[in-house]
Amino acid sequence: MYSSTFNFRDGDFILRSDCPYDDKLLSSSKSVDFRIHRCVLSAASHVFDGMFSVPQPASEDDVVVPIIPLPEPSAVLDTVLRFVYPVEDPTIHTLDEFAPALEAARKYDFAVAIAALRRRLVEPDFLETSPLRVYGIATRYELLGEAEVASRALLSSTLSAQQPHEDLKHITAYDYHRLIVLREERARAAIELLKPSRDVKCMQCNGRWDMAREPPRWWADFRERAKEELRLRPTSAVIFTLPFLQQSVQAGCANCAASILCSSWFFDQLKRSIDDLPATI
């Protein structure tokens, strides 16, 4: 069976998917033939360029188009070749589709495919749903920039909430340790910043002369819950939200709600300070 996209009449060789490396070129029921161009693959891949530069012995068979057997599934070859040829880019919906494509692109040194796949790896849908798996793939293939992006995305979730997957087996102890250290150090630094300004006041809590220098009652509740949240997710994403602050209102006095609203400038400063902390491995 021929590929519906890569079956060019002037193609001068065939890549056969799902085919073992042997001299018989036996195809399986899953095999798909990609009839493509030697010049295109030579330009796109150093591996194929080197392969084609080796003189081939004359064949006694009446085979018009040479066949190169490859073990990769047809879907993987189709994905990689779509990055190489001027056709519509492949749609990669899941990391299950992504990982084999990156493996093949690296194996055959398709630079343009590798670059496109690296960009796809750190797009929001993958980072939001599976940041630890993205981190695992990035560190496995030594994609340093992508590993940094994934480590930042992981700050917004707990590690225990990540779903186990085979990809995680490839994370080394060294890379996982770096991730743990980043989270712990950032959490400690963020907690150190939880100090109230002298200008944060509540008319009722600080109305008496002996309480004038004390923080409002809502602050103690906010600080303790913020500490707990930062230890789990060392980012500013949760602790400055309205629902989070509303819980501190309930722990304060009747005027603490107004005090929190008037302290928006302080929360903005605190948020910027936390956001400025180191956020990547």
- Phi, psi angles (nearest 5°) of residue 110: -90, 95
- The secondary element (H helix, E strand) that includes residue 35 is strand 33-36
Strand order in the sheet with 33-36: 2-7, 33-36, 13-16, 67-69
pLDDT in tens, 58-90: 655 555 788 889 999 999 999 999 999 999 999
Coil, strand or helix at 57: coil
Tell me the pLDDT of the chain averaged across its residues.
90
Measured between alpha carbons, how far is residue 21 from residues 29, 62, 80, 276 in Å? 16, 21, 20, 53
pLDDT digit string (tens) for the chain, length 281 residues: 899 999 999 998 999 998 765 555 555 667 899 999 999 999 999 999 888 877 665 655 555 788 889 999 999 999 999 999 999 999 999 999 999 999 999 999 999 999 999 999 999 999 999 999 999 999 999 999 999 999 999 999 998 888 888 889 999 999 999 999 999 999 999 999 999 998 988 888 876 766 667 889 999 999 999 999 999 999 999 999 999 999 999 988 889 999 999 999 999 999 999 999 999 99
Q: How far separated are the first and last CA of the chain, in Å rounded?
A: 47
Q: What is the pTM of this model?
A: 0.87
Is residue 192 a contact partner of residue 268, using CB atoms and an 8 Å limit?
A: no
What is the rounded distance in angstroms from the CA atom of residue 125 to the CA atom of residue 116?
16
